[in-house]
């Protein structure tokens, strides 16, 4: 399973500075096709190697320069405790706070000079707090994670069902801290059924999302086991739901897993 991105993210302010529209939630902001965002991804490694260039005039916290072509930006790493506690370690740690263009012929319009003036209160006090991520940025990151999590779950469910279809056996996978299983079976010429089995998912809403990842099956078509359909008895800690599994839906799932040209889809 893929990990949640730990890249350097542009803030909402930075997107505005760069004139970039807000993309849909399936596009992580740290992976935007933009030269400034791409160049900023190298800053953490440069800092660790001692090669990142610090902006000394922004003295209230450590900011680093990003330079690409005539574009400039400022990047910082948040302090411990600055990020929401429910984020995975390292996620949302690095941010591009602002961006602009180099204006070497006019010191009053130079990007770094402008940022320094913007962040200077009075003659000596420097505050870059307004360049840090705001609620919008954290909400966007949380929403991106939810979309990525759902996409990852759907890939796993389709893969499990396809595996069970091809082998006739129970297919098992680990998903985050949970174990998920799929079984497709048709006994004695009866219509096929599909069972989705999960361990360690106590939240019914999460299990509902899991079942919703099966394309072509309506929510009302699922029933909990044991039932007359699959006659499966859940083991301790297991939850099992089953449904009739038409051959047309089975074929479509195999096509999703294999892809339109007969090759397995990249994960």
- Backbone φ and ψ for 163, nearest 5 degrees, come out as -65, -45
pLDDT in tens, 80-134: 888 888 888 788 999 999 999 887 666 557 899 999 999 998 878 999 999 999 9
* Site of tokens 């996409």: 151
> How high is the pLDDT of residue 178?
81
Pairing of strands 120-121, 125-126: antiparallel
Tokens of 85: 């506690």
Predicted confidence (pLDDT) at residue 262 exceeds the cutoff of 50 = no
The reported pTM is 0.77
Of 2-6, 70-74, 179-183, the one with minimum mean pLDDT is 2-6
């Amino acid at each position: 399973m893929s990990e949640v991105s730990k890249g350097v993210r542009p803030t909402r302010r930075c997107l505005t500075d760069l004139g970039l529209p807000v993309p849909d939630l399936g596009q992580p902001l740290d992976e935007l096709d933009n030269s400034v965002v791409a160049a900023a991804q190298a800053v953490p490694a440069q800092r660790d190697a001692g090669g990142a260039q610090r902006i000394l005039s922004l003295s209230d916290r450590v900011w680093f320069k990003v330079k690409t072509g005539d574009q400039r930006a400022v990047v910082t790493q948040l302090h411990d405790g600055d990020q929401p506690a429910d984020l995975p370690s390292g996620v949302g740690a690095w941010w591009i706070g602002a961006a602009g263009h180099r204006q070497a012929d006019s010191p009053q319009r130079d990007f770094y000079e402008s940022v320094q003036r913007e962040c200077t209160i009075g003659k000596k006090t420097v505050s870059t707090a307004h360049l840090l991520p705001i609620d919008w940025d954290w909400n966007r990151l949380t929403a991106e994670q939810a979309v990525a999590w759902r996409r990852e779950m759907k890939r796993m469910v389709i893969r499990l069902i396809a595996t069970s279809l091809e082998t006739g056996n129970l297919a098992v996978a680990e998903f985050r801290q949970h174990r998920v299983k799929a079984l497709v079976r048709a006994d004695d010429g009866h219509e096929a059924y599909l069972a989705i089995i999960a361990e360690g998912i106590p939240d019914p809403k999460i299990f509902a999302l899991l079942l919703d990842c099966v394309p072509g099956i309506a929510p009302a078509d699922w029933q909990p086991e044991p039932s007359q359909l699959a006659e499966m008895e859940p083991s301790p800690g297991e939850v099992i739901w089953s449904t009739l599994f038409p051959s047309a839906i089975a074929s479509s799932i195999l096509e999703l897993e294999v892809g339109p040209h007969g090759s397995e889809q990249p994960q």
